[in-house]
Structure 1
Amino acid sequence: MAEPVRRRGRQIMPDWSYHTLFRPALFRLSDENSRELTLKVMRGLYRLPAGKHLIRWMGHMDPPEEGRVNRLGITFPSPVGITGEVDPNHQGTEPFALFGTGFLDLGVVTDEPVKGTVKKNPRHRALALNHPWVNRGADFLQRRLTEMRGVQTPLTIRLGHRPGAGQEEALRERLALIERFADDLSFFVLEDLEPVNSGDREWTEHVQKLSDACHRQKRPLLLSVTPESPLLRNEKLLPHISCLVDGWVLSDGIRSCSNEFLVGREGDARRAVSALTRLRKFLPDQPVIASGGVHEPMDAIHLLEAGADLVQVNAGLVYAGPGLVKRTNEAVMQWKAGEGKQVVPGSSRRRTTAFLLGSGLTVIALAAWWVAAGMVVLPYDEEWLGMSREQLIMLNDRLLPFMAHDRITLSGTLLSLGILYMMLSFFGMRRGYHWPQRVLSLSALIGFVSLFYFLGHGYPDPLHIWLSASLFPLYWLMKRFAPSSHRPHRSTGWRNTRSWHLSLWGQLSFVSLGAAFCAAGAVISLIGMTDVFVRTDLEFMKTTAEDLQASNHRLLPLIAHDRAGFGGTLLAVGISVMLISLWGFREGERWIWWALALGGLPGFIGTVGVHFAIGYTDFFHLLPAYAGLVLYGTGLICSFSFLHQKGEPTL
């Protein structure tokens, strides 16, 4: 076993929205309705023109190349698969393939449908089936496989038969299933949860014929057993059967006292580990796929430590959330890496240019704040207007305070952006993570595009253009130095702890805050290039837009330039905050907390403080800022323990 590593820092429907918003609502619906609604929404999103790319972009769930597993002559993208009980109607297969899964088990298949129900069992945090082979039949699966031709993830089915079938009938049905689905699947699993009533010799012959059929189709055959299977205790038959199959699946299904079939019970990893140990005693080299009630990454680590090559999740997706696969992939990477291995840090040239970009924005923001708090307007502003600062005061004694309010708000937001960029480059890029580069690239691109807002308001600020032209080479160099590979996160969030659950509320708050900034930035940009003012602005200045326009036809373009620029900067900040929250939240990554904490302070201080400084305190005008402060504070409080977590993951 690899030594536990020290903590270094921790989509569709990600965990931060699933646990906080959707799960409470879904668990109030009937089991069938909640499952159908969830899977239909996932499938609908996947089928949108850019849905597939949106899922990947939002969740960043693609497993790293280092996590690939080569077994059975198949390259599995990751060691984590999903079993069919989660989705008996195969509605979510395509989206599930984007969850970072290494393979997808489409469940038991029989020629004719086997009717039954799949319900939640909250007591055991499991899925309860009134029949273990609930499925909609081979014809239905064939139609779905035709629709999901683009899925690249390895697929498998478990070969069932008509309940109560005899030896010959069961064999014919299974052979027909192999021939029918061989072209669409990567391997087959012989389902032994309801074995054919026969002696050891007849059962051996049954397995032999199925194995021969699979090998003719160049597909591996695995045998599925449970920890209670008599086969695992038959020291004579077990080695003989192992010569007929290519590997094993250790299922976690168990019959309850009420004759329900429970799958994925929380805490079943110990039972599976014991069975794995016994299986590995006789079969040390054959591939083994293990299920064991995986509800948190640590459960999967226990199974891999015991000898599993691949693991499967089922009920854990329902109770722990759809991010379980991604979290488990990262935990497995961390477990495999060991404490002693060091990862080469990210490109120094790339992070240096990114840091300089953030530093430049910070210096510009501080200078702009100083100007806005003092003289407010610059000489080239006065030249553009043909009016001096004193003449502007005589025109309207609240005009300069209003312009100062615009410019200080812009400066505070720009300062926030600079701090975020510096934190992303100094911490995220230095550790070799790929996502900070993407955050910076998209956010900065939006900032540079906002330079052309002057086409809407008609005031090409020469200083703005010069500064943007000076910073753009840094942006270009940062893009040019982007590496072709990246270091995966070394996650230590192996357990569903209380701090993890609380952090989901913090993550929700910051994602919502970033989205709100984006929406507000877009609206303010649009207003700045069109109407320029909102009603409360004119009420504060006790004038009208027409009067200001009549007094100086260049005054509105000047004010509009500040407003539109603030909108573009706020949009860039919103993108940064939202993507940092989506992609960077991991246990122990305290720099994420400090980036959001320090990055938010200048923006809120500038925005709220200047309004009170000039007496522009209309409650409804400041309500969005107050709401943002609540989200900001909630996010910092709820995520503090999780992001500042110390220690080592315990096995």
Structure 2
Amino acid sequence: MTLFESAVRPVLFRLGGGDAEAAHEFTLARLARLPGPARAALRSRYGVDAPVEAFGVRFPNAVGLAAGMDKNGVALPAWPALGFGFVEVGTVTAHAQPGNDKPRLFRLRGSEAIINRMGFNNAGAAALAARLDQLGPIGVPLGISLGKSKVTPLEEAVDDYLTSHRLLHPYADYIAVNVSSPNTPGLRTLQDKDAIADLLTALVGPKPVLVKIAPDLSEPAVAELLEVCLSHGAAGVIATNTTLARDGIVAADRSRAGESGGLSGRPLTEKARKVVHFVHTETGGRLPIIGVGGVMDGDDAARLLDAGASLVQLYSGFIYRGPALVRAAARAAASSGAATGRTTGIR
């Protein structure tokens, strides 16, 4: 057991009477205030130099921070210090929005899982653009996840995404198109063939555009979506988002498992790996994949890479295991052959 798991995590999990969102905001605020010497010390402990290239971008290592952890980019300088080889901020929307009613973030500790129904709470694309303009480069590639504003009708979704894209693409090394969150009404219908084609037609440009997909789609639906990605210039796929299923929940967590929202963490490990494998096989490796979902140790990261991912991301695993997981996953990725300088998702 690491120091984080034995000493830091119990304190964080007790904050606010066990309020997961309060602990999240507390942690972000502390990370945002880390001074330069502290960041340097953390980087020397947790950093792993194992470069990998995907969709034309070179990454210091193959392990990134998933969208949702730092929606508004408030702690951006801290994440590379904790060992991450890239950071994805957001999901951000064209309009600032408060998200869904609280409580909306729940830990299922026995299952090493999290349920969230945040609803894209964020300060809006213009605010994020201003922050990134003031901050400048963070030393690792930056992905920006775009979603649809809740107030925007589905028939106006393309313009909504395009507004965010125009404001933010100058600051991004890649753009993630989030059409798979279960927490914005109707959003997942944008994974349909015609809808994703319209989005990609509008958004594909000089910066790589990746599509984030749900783990709950059938294989025929994923295959159809991948055809559109290939024919409309998507640079890659992020697999996967959270799931609406509740498989893999231990008995002690079943009462809380009834909360609505997307489930992440250990119960998603195998499902995410299977989706990554299907995407890789179906496309013949032509679409690089960022694998995300249930990475709780180095072996989980290695298995996602062996299934066909070029990169992996952490969210719930980082909540439960801390920065030691970033280092372990990056080392496992390097050992698995991820850090070979390849330029596609082919393995």
Quickly name the TM-score band, shorter chain normalised.
Answer: 0.7 to 0.9
The offset of 1:115, in angstroms, is 1.7
What is the rounded CA distance, in whole Å, between the counterparts of 2:40 and 2:216 in structure 1? 43
The offset of 1:262, in angstroms, is 3.1
Aligned-partner residue type, residue 315 of structure 2: N
Runs of 4+ in 1 over 6 A off after TM superposition: none
* Residue-by-residue CA offset, 1:186-206 (whole Å, 9 max, x unaligned): 111111112356963344233
What is the rounded CA distance, in whole Å, between the counterparts of 1:333 and 1:120 in structure 2? 31
Change in CA separation of 1:139 and 1:126 when aligned onto 2, cut-off 3 Å? farther
The offset of 1:42, in angstroms, is 2.4
* Residue-by-residue CA offset, 1:561-588 (whole Å, 9 max, x unaligned): xxxxxxxxxxxxxxxxxxxxxxxxxxxx
- Give 1:288-307 correspondences, 5 Å limit: 288-307=289-308
Does residue 233 in structure 1 map to residue 226 in structure 2? no
Does residue 219 in structure 1 map to residue 207 in structure 2? yes
The corresponding residue for 1:107 is 90
The corresponding residue for 2:160 is 173
* Residue-by-residue CA offset, 1:255-314 (whole Å, 9 max, x unaligned): 256453334321422111211222122212211001121111111111011001101110
- Equivalent in 141, 152, 172 of residue 139 of structure 2: 152
Change in CA separation of 1:283 and 1:27 when aligned onto 2, cut-off 3 Å? same
What is the rounded CA distance, in whole Å, between the counterparts of 2:272 and 2:302 in structure 1? 12
Aligned-partner residue type, residue 152 of structure 1: G
- Give 1:605-624 correspondences, 5 Å limit: none
What is the rounded CA distance, in whole Å, between the counterparts of 1:271 and 1:282 in structure 2? 16
CA contact (8 A) 1:126 1:262 kept: no
- Equivalent in 13, 21, 25 of residue 11 of structure 2: 25
CA contact (8 A) 2:193 2:224 kept: no
Of the two structures, which has the highest relative contact order with CA contacts closer than 8 Å and spacing of 6 or more? 2
Unaligned residue ranges in structure 1 (runs of 5+)? 1-14, 338-651
Change in CA separation of 1:334 and 1:49 when aligned onto 2, cut-off 3 Å? closer
The offset of 1:225, in angstroms, is 0.4
The corresponding residue for 1:324 is 325
The offset of 1:241, in angstroms, is 3.0
SS in 1 for 2:128: helix
SS in 2 for 1:81: strand
The offset of 1:104, in angstroms, is 0.7
Compute the TM-score of the two structures, normalised by the length of structure 1: 0.45
The offset of 1:251, in angstroms, is 1.6
Change in CA separation of 1:235 and 1:73 when aligned onto 2, cut-off 3 Å? closer
Aligned-partner residue type, residue 47 of structure 2: D
- Equivalent in 49, 52, 63 of residue 80 of structure 1: 63
The offset of 1:110, in angstroms, is 0.6
- Give 1:277-292 correspondences, 5 Å limit: 277-284=277-284, 285-292=286-293
CA contact (8 A) 2:191 2:225 kept: no
The corresponding residue for 1:315 is 316
Aligned-partner residue type, residue 68 of structure 1: P
**Rg (Cα) greater in structure:** 1
The corresponding residue for 1:37 is 26
CA contact (8 A) 1:264 1:313 kept: no
The corresponding residue for 1:538 is none
The offset of 1:164, in angstroms, is 6.0
SS in 1 for 2:144: strand
CA contact (8 A) 1:76 1:103 kept: yes
Change in CA separation of 1:177 and 1:124 when aligned onto 2, cut-off 3 Å? same
Does residue 62 in structure 1 map to residue 47 in structure 2? yes
Change in CA separation of 1:55 and 1:172 when aligned onto 2, cut-off 3 Å? same
Compute the TM-score of the two structures, normalised by the length of structure 2: 0.81
The offset of 1:240, in angstroms, is 3.3
CA contact (8 A) 1:132 1:261 kept: no
* Residue-by-residue CA offset, 1:444-495 (whole Å, 9 max, x unaligned): xxxxxxxxxxxxxxxxxxxxxxxxxxxxxxxxxxxxxxxxxxxxxxxxxxxx
Aligned-partner residue type, residue 221 of structure 1: V
Aligned-partner residue type, residue 294 of structure 2: G
**Identity of counterpart residues, as a percentage?**
23
The corresponding residue for 2:342 is none
The corresponding residue for 1:204 is 197
What is the rounded CA distance, in whole Å, between the counterparts of 1:234 and 1:26 in structure 2? 38
Aligned-partner residue type, residue 288 of structure 1: I
What count of residue pairs does the alignment treat as equivalent? 312
SS in 2 for 1:208: helix
CA contact (8 A) 2:69 2:89 kept: no
Unaligned residue ranges in structure 2 (runs of 5+)? 181-186, 247-256, 339-347
CA contact (8 A) 2:192 2:225 kept: no
CA RMSD of aligned residues (A): 2.5
Aligned-partner residue type, residue 239 of structure 1: E
SS in 2 for 1:86: coil
* Residue-by-residue CA offset, 1:6-57 (whole Å, 9 max, x unaligned): xxxxxxxxx8432222222221113233223323222222xx3533323334
The offset of 1:325, in angstroms, is 0.7
Aligned-partner residue type, residue 231 of structure 2: C
Change in CA separation of 1:199 and 1:243 when aligned onto 2, cut-off 3 Å? closer
What is the rounded CA distance, in whole Å, between the counterparts of 1:159 and 1:150 in structure 2? 19
What is the rounded CA distance, in whole Å, between the counterparts of 1:254 and 1:135 in structure 2? 21
Aligned-partner residue type, residue 92 of structure 1: A
The offset of 1:230, in angstroms, is 4.4
Does residue 51 in structure 1 map to residue 38 in structure 2? yes
Higher strand share: 2
What is the rounded CA distance, in whole Å, between the counterparts of 2:74 and 2:222 in structure 1? 39
CA contact (8 A) 2:209 2:236 kept: yes
What is the rounded CA distance, in whole Å, between the counterparts of 1:40 and 1:237 in structure 2? 38
What is the rounded CA distance, in whole Å, between the counterparts of 2:323 and 2:148 in structure 1? 31
Change in CA separation of 1:240 and 1:87 when aligned onto 2, cut-off 3 Å? closer
What is the rounded CA distance, in whole Å, between the counterparts of 1:246 and 1:175 in structure 2? 17
The offset of 1:327, in angstroms, is 1.2
What is the rounded CA distance, in whole Å, between the counterparts of 1:160 and 1:87 in structure 2? 15
Change in CA separation of 1:26 and 1:167 when aligned onto 2, cut-off 3 Å? closer
CA contact (8 A) 2:80 2:140 kept: yes
What is the rounded CA distance, in whole Å, between the counterparts of 1:93 and 1:292 in structure 2? 22
The offset of 1:123, in angstroms, is 4.2
What is the rounded CA distance, in whole Å, between the counterparts of 1:52 and 1:138 in structure 2? 27
The offset of 1:91, in angstroms, is 3.1
CA contact (8 A) 1:157 1:188 kept: yes
